[in-house]
Amino acid sequence: MSKAHTGGSGSDAAALILRLAVGPMMVTHGMNKVRGPGGLEGTTGWFDSLGLQPAHLHARMAAATEIGTGTLLTLGTLTPLASAGVIGIMTVAAFTDHKGKGFFIFKGGWEYVGVVGATAAAISALGPGRYSLDGARGKRRGGLRSALFSAGLGVGAALALLATSQKGPTPKPATDDTDDTDDDTGSEG
Protein backbone atom coordinates (compact mmCIF):
# COMPACT_ATOMS: atom_id res chain seq x y z
CA MET A 1 0.00 0.00 0.00
CA SER A 2 1.22 3.51 -0.74
CA LYS A 3 1.70 6.07 1.99
CA ALA A 4 -1.33 7.96 0.66
CA HIS A 5 -3.49 4.96 1.49
CA THR A 6 -2.05 4.53 4.97
CA GLY A 7 -2.64 8.17 5.87
CA GLY A 8 1.00 9.38 6.01
CA SER A 9 1.16 11.45 2.85
CA GLY A 10 3.58 14.19 1.90
CA SER A 11 0.68 16.63 1.59
CA ASP A 12 -0.10 16.14 5.30
CA ALA A 13 3.49 17.04 6.16
CA ALA A 14 3.44 19.98 3.72
CA ALA A 15 0.23 21.31 5.26
CA LEU A 16 1.74 21.05 8.74
CA ILE A 17 4.97 22.80 7.72
CA LEU A 18 3.14 25.63 5.96
CA ARG A 19 0.64 26.06 8.81
CA LEU A 20 3.48 26.18 11.35
CA ALA A 21 5.33 28.76 9.23
CA VAL A 22 2.41 31.11 8.55
CA GLY A 23 0.28 30.65 11.68
CA PRO A 24 2.79 31.69 14.35
CA MET A 25 4.09 34.46 12.08
CA MET A 26 0.58 35.94 11.88
CA VAL A 27 0.13 35.66 15.66
CA THR A 28 3.45 37.44 16.16
CA HIS A 29 2.48 40.24 13.77
CA GLY A 30 -0.83 40.69 15.58
CA MET A 31 0.81 40.71 19.00
CA ASN A 32 3.32 43.29 17.78
CA LYS A 33 0.43 45.59 16.85
CA VAL A 34 -0.81 45.33 20.43
CA ARG A 35 2.37 45.01 22.51
CA GLY A 36 5.12 46.25 20.17
CA PRO A 37 7.12 49.42 20.84
CA GLY A 38 4.24 51.79 20.02
CA GLY A 39 1.44 49.47 21.13
CA LEU A 40 -2.05 49.99 19.78
CA GLU A 41 -1.51 53.75 19.87
CA GLY A 42 1.44 53.45 17.49
CA THR A 43 -0.47 51.03 15.25
CA THR A 44 -3.39 53.46 15.22
CA GLY A 45 -1.09 56.26 14.09
CA TRP A 46 0.40 54.07 11.37
CA PHE A 47 -3.05 53.04 10.12
CA ASP A 48 -4.09 56.69 10.14
CA SER A 49 -1.10 57.49 7.92
CA LEU A 50 -2.26 54.73 5.56
CA GLY A 51 -5.68 56.40 5.33
CA LEU A 52 -7.63 53.66 7.13
CA GLN A 53 -10.47 55.29 9.07
CA PRO A 54 -11.36 55.03 11.84
CA ALA A 55 -7.74 54.12 12.47
CA HIS A 56 -8.25 53.00 16.10
CA LEU A 57 -10.84 50.45 14.96
CA HIS A 58 -8.72 49.16 12.08
CA ALA A 59 -5.68 48.76 14.35
CA ARG A 60 -7.69 46.53 16.66
CA MET A 61 -9.39 44.63 13.83
CA ALA A 62 -6.05 43.92 12.13
CA ALA A 63 -4.46 42.72 15.38
CA ALA A 64 -7.42 40.48 16.20
CA THR A 65 -7.55 39.09 12.67
CA GLU A 66 -3.83 38.30 12.66
CA ILE A 67 -3.91 36.68 16.10
CA GLY A 68 -7.13 34.78 15.35
CA THR A 69 -6.24 33.53 11.88
CA GLY A 70 -2.72 32.65 12.99
CA THR A 71 -4.05 30.62 15.90
CA LEU A 72 -6.56 28.79 13.68
CA LEU A 73 -3.90 27.98 11.08
CA THR A 74 -1.44 26.79 13.71
CA LEU A 75 -4.04 24.45 15.19
CA GLY A 76 -5.36 23.40 11.79
CA THR A 77 -9.01 24.23 12.24
CA LEU A 78 -11.41 26.26 10.11
CA THR A 79 -8.60 26.38 7.57
CA PRO A 80 -10.49 27.97 4.64
CA LEU A 81 -11.72 30.82 6.86
CA ALA A 82 -8.32 31.29 8.49
CA SER A 83 -6.67 31.35 5.07
CA ALA A 84 -9.23 33.92 3.89
CA GLY A 85 -8.32 36.14 6.85
CA VAL A 86 -4.62 35.97 5.99
CA ILE A 87 -5.35 36.69 2.33
CA GLY A 88 -7.52 39.65 3.33
CA ILE A 89 -4.84 41.14 5.60
CA MET A 90 -2.20 40.72 2.89
CA THR A 91 -4.48 42.28 0.26
CA VAL A 92 -5.08 45.36 2.41
CA ALA A 93 -1.32 45.61 3.05
CA ALA A 94 -0.62 45.38 -0.69
CA PHE A 95 -3.06 48.20 -1.47
CA THR A 96 -1.92 50.47 1.37
CA ASP A 97 1.56 50.13 2.86
CA HIS A 98 3.17 48.41 -0.16
CA LYS A 99 1.30 50.22 -2.95
CA GLY A 100 3.39 51.91 -5.61
CA LYS A 101 6.69 50.60 -4.25
CA GLY A 102 7.31 47.92 -6.87
CA PHE A 103 7.82 44.23 -6.34
CA PHE A 104 10.84 43.77 -4.05
CA ILE A 105 10.25 43.83 -0.31
CA PHE A 106 13.61 45.48 0.35
CA LYS A 107 12.18 48.50 -1.49
CA GLY A 108 8.86 48.26 0.37
CA GLY A 109 7.16 46.35 -2.45
CA TRP A 110 4.44 43.73 -2.41
CA GLU A 111 6.68 40.64 -2.76
CA TYR A 112 6.27 39.53 0.88
CA VAL A 113 2.51 40.05 1.12
CA GLY A 114 2.04 38.32 -2.24
CA VAL A 115 3.97 35.25 -1.11
CA VAL A 116 2.17 35.10 2.25
CA GLY A 117 -1.23 35.47 0.56
CA ALA A 118 -0.42 32.78 -2.01
CA THR A 119 0.84 30.49 0.76
CA ALA A 120 -2.46 30.94 2.61
CA ALA A 121 -4.34 29.95 -0.56
CA ALA A 122 -2.07 26.90 -0.90
CA ILE A 123 -2.77 25.92 2.72
CA SER A 124 -6.48 26.11 1.97
CA ALA A 125 -5.97 23.95 -1.14
CA LEU A 126 -4.02 21.36 0.85
CA GLY A 127 -6.52 21.40 3.68
CA PRO A 128 -5.40 21.24 7.30
CA GLY A 129 -3.89 17.77 6.85
CA ARG A 130 -3.81 14.79 9.14
CA TYR A 131 -1.71 16.55 11.80
CA SER A 132 -4.35 19.10 12.81
CA LEU A 133 -7.43 19.48 14.96
CA ASP A 134 -9.64 19.11 11.91
CA GLY A 135 -7.60 16.08 10.85
CA ALA A 136 -8.18 14.49 14.24
CA ARG A 137 -11.92 14.97 13.67
CA GLY A 138 -11.71 13.48 10.18
CA LYS A 139 -12.11 16.84 8.38
CA ARG A 140 -9.09 17.10 6.11
CA ARG A 141 -10.67 18.38 2.91
CA GLY A 142 -9.01 21.00 0.81
CA GLY A 143 -8.87 21.33 -2.95
CA LEU A 144 -9.38 23.95 -5.59
CA ARG A 145 -12.83 24.98 -4.34
CA SER A 146 -11.45 25.60 -0.86
CA ALA A 147 -8.58 27.70 -2.24
CA LEU A 148 -10.93 29.70 -4.47
CA PHE A 149 -13.30 30.23 -1.54
CA SER A 150 -10.46 31.52 0.65
CA ALA A 151 -9.05 33.76 -2.08
CA GLY A 152 -12.47 35.12 -3.05
CA LEU A 153 -13.54 35.81 0.53
CA GLY A 154 -10.19 37.31 1.53
CA VAL A 155 -9.78 39.58 -1.50
CA GLY A 156 -13.49 40.50 -1.50
CA ALA A 157 -13.48 41.46 2.17
CA ALA A 158 -10.28 43.46 1.72
CA LEU A 159 -11.65 45.38 -1.25
CA ALA A 160 -14.90 46.08 0.61
CA LEU A 161 -12.93 47.34 3.60
CA LEU A 162 -10.79 49.59 1.42
CA ALA A 163 -13.82 50.93 -0.45
CA THR A 164 -15.60 51.87 2.76
CA SER A 165 -12.75 52.77 5.09
CA GLN A 166 -9.88 54.26 3.16
CA LYS A 167 -9.84 58.00 2.83
CA GLY A 168 -7.91 59.75 0.12
CA PRO A 169 -4.74 61.63 0.87
CA THR A 170 -5.30 64.61 3.10
CA PRO A 171 -5.20 67.70 0.88
CA LYS A 172 -2.60 70.27 1.75
CA PRO A 173 -3.94 73.73 2.61
CA ALA A 174 -4.01 75.97 -0.42
CA THR A 175 -1.50 78.76 -0.37
CA ASP A 176 -2.89 82.12 -1.34
CA ASP A 177 -0.26 84.30 -2.95
CA THR A 178 -2.57 87.30 -3.23
CA ASP A 179 -2.80 90.05 -0.66
CA ASP A 180 -6.35 90.78 0.48
CA THR A 181 -5.57 94.46 1.14
CA ASP A 182 -5.75 95.24 -2.58
CA ASP A 183 -3.05 97.84 -2.01
CA ASP A 184 -0.65 98.22 -4.90
CA THR A 185 1.31 101.12 -3.45
CA GLY A 186 2.38 99.53 -0.22
CA SER A 187 1.01 102.47 1.72
CA GLU A 188 -2.01 102.58 3.96
CA GLY A 189 -4.36 104.99 2.60
User: What is the percentage of the chain residues whose pLDDT exceeds 70?
Assistant: 84
∠ CA(14), CA(18), CA(22), 5° rounding? Answer: 175
Kindly tell me if the per-residue pLDDT of 76 is higher than 60. Answer: yes
Asked if residue 4 is part of any domain, the answer here is: no
Asked if residue 85 is part of any domain, the answer here is: yes
pLDDT of residue 140: 81
Query: Once rounded to an integer, what is the mean pLDDT over residues 102-131?
Result: 96
Local confidence band at 170 (pLDDT 50, 70, 90 cut-offs): very low
Per-chain mean pLDDT for the chain: 88
Asked if residue 172 is part of any domain, the answer here is: no
Asked if residue 43 is part of any domain, the answer here is: yes
Asked if residue 154 is part of any domain, the answer here is: yes
Model confidence, pTM: 0.84
Kindly tell me if the per-residue pLDDT of 108 is higher than 90. Answer: yes
Question: Are the C-beta atoms of 52 and 96 separated by less than 8 Å?
Answer: yes
pLDDT of residue 126: 96
User: Residue 169 burial by CB count (10 A; 0-12/13-18/19+): exposed, middle or buried?
Assistant: exposed
pLDDT of residue 9: 86
Asked if residue 3 is part of any domain, the answer here is: no
Asked if residue 174 is part of any domain, the answer here is: no
Kindly tell me if the per-residue pLDDT of 61 is higher than 80. Answer: yes
Local confidence band at 174 (pLDDT 50, 70, 90 cut-offs): low
Kindly tell me if the per-residue pLDDT of 4 is higher than 50. Answer: no
Asked if residue 71 is part of any domain, the answer here is: yes
Q: How far apart are CA 64 and CA 17, in angstroms?
A: 23
Question: Are the C-beta atoms of 145 and 38 separated by less than 8 Å?
Answer: no
**What number of other Cβ atoms are within 10 A of residue 187's Cβ?**
6
| Residue 168 or residue 32, greater confidence | 32
Kindly tell me if the per-residue pLDDT of 133 is higher than 50. Answer: yes
What's the number of domains the chain is made of?
A: 1
In which domain, by residue range, is 56 found? 9-165
Instruction: Name the phi and psi angles at 52, rounded to 5.
Output: -85, 120
**SS3 state of residue 145:** helix
